[in-house]
Amino acid sequence: MALPFAISAMFLAVRQPQGVLLARFIIRRLFLSLITLAILLIIVTLIPNIAPGDPARKIAGGTASPERLAEVTESLGLNDSVPTQLANLAKSVFTLDFGESFSVAAGEPVMDLVWTALGNSAKLVVFALAIVVPLSVLGGLIAAYKKDTWIDRMIVNTGLAMSSIPEFVAGVLLLAFLAVPISFFKVQGNAPDGSGILTQLQHLILPALAVLMVYFGYIARITRAGTIQALESDYARTAFMRGLSTRNVFRKHIARNALQPTVAVLGTQLGYLFGGMVGLEVVFNYPGVGSLIIKAIDRADYPVLRAGVLIVAIIYMLATLTADLIVAWMNPRARLDLGSE
């Protein structure tokens, strides 16, 4: 493990053209992600092996015959040694083949279930972000420009209050006060089969609003902090003194620096958005990844469970990597900071 560090350190010590620095940075980040993935694989492999009771019996059901039970144990891989299980799991991840589901949808290929759920989650996430990001960033910018006025305080405090509310509570409140009295707002996140894209979005409005309630405060504050820092930086003050217009300064300098932390935060939150909105998915009966994982846990469907959890983790890692890359591109200095961790 020491060797890559030594190499990176050597490169960092010598001044390199920026392209190579970026490349080194990417490689190092990928490498670290792989290690994280490996550890995650270990955790996921261990779970059925250390769970109390017999996972195979739970899957096969109380009325299953001993032959069926043996079959299930075999296909769970529990007859193999732990290192073998680990190797098989790693192979599954890289070939994206997790076998067949047991009980969530008996016999169906696991990846089909995961892709469907991912597609649903993606719809919700994209739609929600399309609403949340512009509104929150705008809110943060306004709060920063109007710092310490009542507008600023209102935005920050409303955001704080709303993001304190767990997402299922937000969902339930929206359900009670919007969905029931007003027919435009739908009770279910999932539109009937074959609906057009507009109807599907209409059904997603309330879940997206719930996401907005949870994230507005957080993102607005981060944007606000970044913007304030940028506004009060030497560069900006000099620019203002030289008579440059606000818009000019904004475009050239502030936008980039203010949005950096926002991008970084979005990256980390993306994984959470995919798998962590379980409460929302339950309240609005929406078949996303979180709800798939819950079903898999309820029915001890290990193949689906493993696939779901790992996919969420991989999305998180990819998202944070992408976010770090964007930030590094936006701010060359960050490449050094992030590179040395």
Interactions with another protein, residue window 154-183 (CB under 8 A):
160-161, 164-169, 172-173, 175-176, 179-180, 183
Binding mask 20-59 for another protein (x = CB under 8 A): ------------x--xxx-xx--x---x--xxxxx-xxx-
Cβ–Cβ under 8 Å, residues 59 and 295: no
Burial 77-109 (b: 16+ CB within 10 A, else e): bbeeeeeebbeebeebbeeeebbbbbbbbeeeb
Question: Smallest gap, in angstroms, from Cβ of residue 166 to another protein?
Answer: 5
Tokens linked to 112:
């089909």
Distance CA 108, CA 105 (A): 6
Q: Is the dihedral of CA 56, 61, 62, 67 positive or negative?
A: negative
Cβ–Cβ under 8 Å, residues 307 and 292: no
Q: Which of 9, 20, 106, 138 binds another protein (CB under 8 A)?
A: 106
Region 188-247 residues binding another protein, contact defined as CB under 8 A:
188, 192-193
Cβ–Cβ under 8 Å, residues 223 and 262: yes
Q: Which of 290, 303, 328, 335 binds another protein (CB under 8 A)?
A: 290
Question: Smallest gap, in angstroms, from Cβ of residue 127 to another protein?
Answer: 19
Q: Does 135 bind another protein (CB under 8 A)?
A: no
Q: Which of 283, 325, 327, 328 binds another protein (CB under 8 A)?
A: 283
Question: Smallest gap, in angstroms, from Cβ of residue 95 to another protein?
Answer: 21
Question: Smallest gap, in angstroms, from Cβ of residue 295 to another protein?
Answer: 8
Question: Smallest gap, in angstroms, from Cβ of residue 290 to another protein?
Answer: 7
Distance between terminal CA atoms of the chain? 16
Question: Smallest gap, in angstroms, from Cβ of residue 292 to another protein?
Answer: 8
| Distance from the Cα of residue 279 to its chain's centroid | 15
Burial 30-53 (b: 16+ CB within 10 A, else e): eeebeeebeebbeebbeebeeeee
Which stretch, 143-151, 239-247, 295-303, 328-336, contacts another protein (CB under 8 A)? 295-303
Instruction: Count the site residues for another protein by CB under 8 A.
Output: 77
Q: Does 10 bind another protein (CB under 8 A)?
A: no
Q: Which of 8, 75, 88, 116 binds another protein (CB under 8 A)?
A: 116
